[in-house]
A = this chain, B = another copy of it.
Amino acid sequence: MVETVDDLSSNGMSETDYTLEPIGVVHSPLTSRKEAPRQADEGAPQAWLELSDSVTEGLDGIEVGDEIIVLTWLHHAHRDVLKVHPRNRVESSLIGVFATRSPDRPNPVGLHRVSVLEIAGQRLRVAAMEAIDGTPIVDIKAVLRNIDER
């Protein structure tokens, strides 16, 4: 059992215990990080989430109109960054990445709240999504308004 931070690095667990298996991929007209809006409410387009055959049954119960939370692996992010200029404005003071939504951070897991517009088999059309084309999807969760909003 992990009891302290030190145990995390000394308890003999192999790193593969923390390995994500992509469950799908984002298809988007956004093709580079540079053209992607910084947040979904800043002009992000619709996207298709294509899930792998092996996890398709995990979608049962998701309906058009639902709000869902998509977790992605931000594959173009820099994992060695701990301080950033908020919104890349160099005139802003550096702050810690954990006080921001920068994609650059030790574990580049993206968090995207989107609306489901269409369901076609193992593909979901959603809006608005600022992740770029080819971004691996690692999880989808229901929104729980009483705990995700307060």
Interface residues of chain A, those whose CB is within 8 Å of chain B, are: 1-5, 7-8, 15-25, 39-41, 50-53, 55, 57-62, 66-69, 71, 73, 75, 82-83, 94-101, 105-107, 109, 111, 113, 133-136, 138-142, 144, 146-150
Contacts and interface: CB of A to CB of B under 8 A. Distances in A.
A62 B96 CA distance: 8
Contacts of A142: 98-101
Number of copies: 2
B18 A2 contact: no
Contacts of A100: 61, 141-142
B58 A98 contact: yes
B75 A39 contact: no
